[in-house]
Structure 1
Amino acid sequence: MKRAFTRLEEAVYHVERMYTPWNIQVEIETRERIDRDRLRAAVREAYDVHPIAKAHKRRGGKGGTDYDWEVPDEAPVPIEVVEASDVDLDALRQRFYGDGIDLSTAPPLRLLVVRNGGESGDLLWFCSSHVPVDGMGAYRILQAICTAYRGEDPATGRFGFEESGEVLDGFRPDSRRRRARLLGKTAGRLGYLFDPPSRLTGAEDPAVVGWRYRHRRLDERVVDALLDGDDASVNDYLLVAMHLTLDRWNREAGTAAEKLSVMMPVNLRPREWFYEGVGLYTLFESVTTEAADRRSAAQAVARVTDQTQRIKSERPYLGYLEWLNLVPEAVPLSVKKRLPKLLDGPGERLLDTAVLSNLGRLPEPLPALSGERPESLWCTPPCWLPTPVSIGVVTVGGEMQLGFRYAQSAFDGQEADTFADRYCERVADVV
């Protein structure tokens, strides 16, 4: 089986090749002592249900892109097992999630078992390239693995493998006038070249490279208040808290922020299958505030909700699909590979201050290796400098868990803990 890369997949591939691996991080904790052979068999079942999980890249040339996904009959199952007491978990995370995944060989993912790494059992780490799947796609693959591990049958995918590459075309408007308007809306991003967002002020040691991770749980009362909020959505409150945290952080460092911009991935899936479909079906949009918007939480909420409501109704992010489809098929691969260089130098002004990805309330069955739910589950989306921090949010039942990914060149470990704690405090404040 094979299918052509979508233009979105190809664009993400070239960006990560130019800058830094765009790997999705997901971790679950279990009371189980994970059986490696049983886990390997479960991954193979997930491969059969979601073929993209065992696909590899090869040169193609059809479908408007230069690469194909090819699904082999059999693929390796990369599982590493370590004892928690024998390793530095921070350094291990940096290596496991930070090393690039060679898409020319199957599969585009890897797993790691940390024996006795949790409070009551093992940890299962899951790392996937962002090129074939987005956060929800990665979740669905992990969900299938855990379901098979429990001895149950994983749910089949919504689309066949070949069909999955055509899904993005269904999101494009039929009207040429509407497509032209979308192109104009996303072209507005070029305004960032003249009015760039402020950057986060931190330790800033360029000699230190790599990314580190932090995990937090929100207090149950805060989660209840978020879910019961009347003035804004859960995602709106999370965005407001991010803006206020960034603002306070810079003010305390003596560098007051003017414009702040937080990138949020936008799930293109329609409501009826919002949590289905294993593939890369996510674009992005930015939510901004100015210093005057952050004088109070109420002002920030008003500013953010105004933007998110407009984003939901107008769907301007679809313009990025239109720009990708403007690239002629005849453009040489050597040129496509160099296009991300436009983000160097002055192009860095186009990038956001931070990233926030909220997967929402995860659908059942939850990815638990035993029982109905894992002891913990958290994730982080990728980002790259000069955007030094991303937050991933998931709601598991009534519990909301947060993952923080930060650049060591911008934060030291103590600063990262402080930033994570401040963010949780701001979430509590805004609701």
Structure 2
Amino acid sequence: MIAPGTAVGRVLIPFPTVDEVSRHCLSDDEPESVHIEVHLPGRVDPARLRAAFRRALLTHPRVLMREVPGRRHRRSFAWEVTGEPDSDPVSFAGRGADALARVRARALSACPPLTLSPPMRLEVVEVDGGKVAPESSSVASGTATETGTVLLLTMHHTALDAPSGLRVLATTAEQYGGVDALPVTGRVRPGSSGPAPSGTGRAVRARPVRVAPDSRPEAVRARAVGNGMLQADLPVPRRVARTGGLPPWTVNDQLLVAASLMVGRWNVSQGRPAGPVRITMPVDDRPRGTEMPMGNGTRLVEVAMTSEDPRDKDLLLGERPDPAAVARLLRTTARRTRALKSAQGAPMGAGASLLTAPLLPVGIRGVLTRGARRAAGPWTSTALVTNIGRVPYALDFGDAGRATAVWFSAPARMPRGLSLAAASTGGRLHVTLRWSRALLGEAAGADLVGLFEESLSTTSLTSTGAHAPGAGPGAGIRKVDATATDAEASSARDHARGPGGPYHRDTPRPDPTPGGARSTQDNHKRPS
């Protein structure tokens, strides 16, 4: 909704529900940032890139906005569309692995200010053939090095989401390369036939299980601030044949099931009882062309990751998940996600819409919103899983080449404390696990990614009826936190203890994932 302001040519946009809730709950300890990494094989020209990014911003004027300052007794927050950037959002961070590590760390620790237009920054790093992360493997080739350019876009999530940022980068590529991209079709959802059926999992509102904290002393976790992040380059899970026009389950369903198995197996390894896992999943129905509305355009739904047969719990969380139980959970999850995607609803539910209604001053609404968030903490979903799917843009930067990999991450604030984001480019699945350091440390994050890879391998093999020798717990690939310092990374490897025991650098294990897994972290294996 756009409303004219008092000044000539001034355009004000009242905060939508999602923006206001985020604005009320901001915290310096856990910045509300979204980061997108685009890896290119060649070099970019600084002047051309600056000009292309500026033209992209002008193509999407809704991005050129800043928060209108005001007092706590005003009735609403508002964005002011500026028409021009307040400052140059493009910077060149240098060359090499150290520069990339610093930029990644900044993306998780420092949001672009909401008071400057646009609330995003684009940092450019040249990778000169050195290691792209501590003991990392290559994003593009599987070797120990990468050569080219990394474009790292950081946005304030109060203003913009990952699909919006990706659309701006796609327009930047079109402007830089001088070639218009092919038209992008919008997503097609199955039609809705009335209220969401009971298969959505809404009928039984069980209190979801929390991700178990790691073994660090509670006092140490309480002092930890910010987010950790780890990235993995995996094969896209195998799709299952369609029956009756629809597949029994999708790649997105496999990601949800793999995430739930990851959490369940992690909690059991930490001595916690297994419980119902609920996953928050953004649903985005916006078109992907240049007409795509910018901002936070997704609605959040919750998927109950519980099998309809209670006996499946032990079969799913055993040493090797039972393929039949995994298939049953995949079918149940597919039915629930289809119903949730086709149903209509408020972006964050009726409660959030009521809290943000302009009936009270924003200061009072902020107190009520933060109080409601604390009260709802025990009922908050277990994890956030965001899947963009196949990146719908070529991201062709002309002589700098097409994107070889695209990673992005979403905030991981407590009490949830864990988010998983996925996108596929060039037949590879690029997964980012992000966590609150108040919940998990570097070693625990590496354990979780290993468990996710094993679980995703299980769902992929279930889709084809195949079995992977040694694909149970203990066969996952080990990694080091992308944002950790060299000392932190070394300490994490030397002292990590998880579901499969300590790290052994000299004991490689077969890779259980079809097609092999590559990572931007190290590739140590976990022994059985």
Using structure 2 for the length normalisation, give the TM-score: 0.67
| Match of residue 380, structure 1, among 377, 389, 409 | 409
| Match of residue 168, structure 2, among 119, 132, 141 | 141
Matched residue type, 1:427:
L
In the TM superposition, residue 71 of structure 1 has moved relative to its aligned partner by: 1.5
Specify the SS of the correspondent of 2:385.
strand
Specify the SS of the correspondent of 1:257.
coil
Matched residue type, 2:151:
L
The reply on whether 1:94 has 2:105 as its aligned counterpart is yes
Q: Which residue of 2 aligns with 1:320?
A: 349
Matched residue type, 1:373:
R
CA–CA distance in 2 between the matches of 1:147 and 1:273? 12
Per mean C-alpha deviation after superposition, the further-off stretch among 324-333 and 313-322 is 313-322
| Match of residue 62, structure 2, among 52, 74, 79 | 52
Q: Gaps (5+ residues) in structure 2?
A: 1-9, 133-145, 186-191, 316-324, 461-528
Q: Which residue of 2 aligns with 1:127?
A: 154
In the TM superposition, residue 399 of structure 1 has moved relative to its aligned partner by: 2.3
1:376 to 1:227, Cα distance in 2 relative to 1, 3 A: farther
CA–CA distance in 2 between the matches of 1:67 and 1:401? 35
Specify the SS of the correspondent of 1:404.
strand
Aligned length: 400
| Match of residue 425, structure 2, among 388, 396, 402 | 396
In the TM superposition, residue 103 of structure 1 has moved relative to its aligned partner by: 1.0
How do 1:317-396 and structure 2 match up within 5 A? 320=349, 323-324=352-353, 327-343=356-372, 345-366=374-395, 368=397, 370=399, 373-396=402-425
How do 1:133-282 and structure 2 match up within 5 A? 133-152=160-179, 195-204=207-216, 205-219=221-235, 222-223=236-237, 225-226=238-239, 228=241, 230-269=247-286, 276-282=292-298
1:142 to 1:31, Cα distance in 2 relative to 1, 3 A: same
In the TM superposition, residue 358 of structure 1 has moved relative to its aligned partner by: 0.4
In the TM superposition, residue 215 of structure 1 has moved relative to its aligned partner by: 1.4
Per mean C-alpha deviation after superposition, the further-off stretch among 134-143 and 4-13 is 4-13
The reply on whether 1:287 has 2:296 as its aligned counterpart is no
How do 1:298-309 and structure 2 match up within 5 A? 298-309=327-338
Specify the SS of the correspondent of 1:214.
strand
Contact 2:49 2:176 in 1 (8 A): yes
CA–CA distance in 1 between the matches of 2:292 and 2:241? 26
Per mean C-alpha deviation after superposition, the further-off stretch among 250-259 and 143-152 is 143-152
| Match of residue 16, structure 2, among 7, 27, 39 | 7
1:56 to 1:189, Cα distance in 2 relative to 1, 3 A: farther
Give a deviation string over 1:268-299, Cα, whole Å, max 9, x none: 437x9799332221111111234835433123
CA–CA distance in 2 between the matches of 1:325 and 1:300? 35
Give a deviation string over 1:116-137, Cα, whole Å, max 9, x none: 1650112111011122322211
In the TM superposition, residue 372 of structure 1 has moved relative to its aligned partner by: 5.9
In the TM superposition, residue 228 of structure 1 has moved relative to its aligned partner by: 5.0
Specify the SS of the correspondent of 2:76.
coil
Q: Which residue of 2 aligns with 1:41?
A: 51
| Match of residue 91, structure 2, among 80, 88, 91 | 80
Per mean C-alpha deviation after superposition, the further-off stretch among 311-320 and 108-117 is 311-320
Contact 1:263 1:355 in 2 (8 A): yes
Contact 1:265 1:283 in 2 (8 A): yes
Give a deviation string over 1:309-336, Cα, whole Å, max 9, x none: 3213333555726851675423112112
Specify the SS of the correspondent of 2:88.
coil
1:310 to 1:275, Cα distance in 2 relative to 1, 3 A: farther
Specify the SS of the correspondent of 1:414.
helix
Specify the SS of the correspondent of 2:258.
helix
Contact 2:21 2:356 in 1 (8 A): no
| Match of residue 123, structure 2, among 109, 112, 121 | 112
Give a deviation string over 1:18-39, Cα, whole Å, max 9, x none: 8743211100111222332222
Contact 1:30 1:374 in 2 (8 A): yes
Contact 2:32 2:156 in 1 (8 A): yes
Matched residue type, 1:251:
V
Matched residue type, 2:269:
E
1:309 to 1:96, Cα distance in 2 relative to 1, 3 A: closer
Give a deviation string over 1:23-63, Cα, whole Å, max 9, x none: 111001112223322221111101110112221111489x9
Q: Which residue of 1 aligns with 2:36?
A: 26
Contact 2:300 2:348 in 1 (8 A): no
Q: Which residue of 1 aligns with 2:443?
A: 414
Specify the SS of the correspondent of 2:164.
helix
CA–CA distance in 2 between the matches of 1:336 and 1:189? 30
In terms of fraction of residues, the more helix-rich structure is 1
Matched residue type, 2:268:
R
Per mean C-alpha deviation after superposition, the further-off stretch among 409-418 and 40-49 is 409-418
1:209 to 1:326, Cα distance in 2 relative to 1, 3 A: closer
CA–CA distance in 1 between the matches of 2:448 and 2:298? 27
Q: Which residue of 2 aligns with 1:168?
A: none
Specify the SS of the correspondent of 2:123.
strand
CA–CA distance in 2 between the matches of 1:156 and 1:279? 21
CA–CA distance in 1 between the matches of 2:60 and 2:152? 19
CA–CA distance in 1 between the matches of 2:290 and 2:458? 30
Using structure 1 for the length normalisation, give the TM-score: 0.81
Q: Which residue of 1 aligns with 2:80?
A: 69
| Match of residue 456, structure 2, among 415, 427, 430 | 427
1:318 to 1:403, Cα distance in 2 relative to 1, 3 A: closer
Q: Which residue of 1 aligns with 2:496?
A: none
Could you say what the CA RMSD is over the residues aligned between the two structures, in angstroms?
A: 3.5
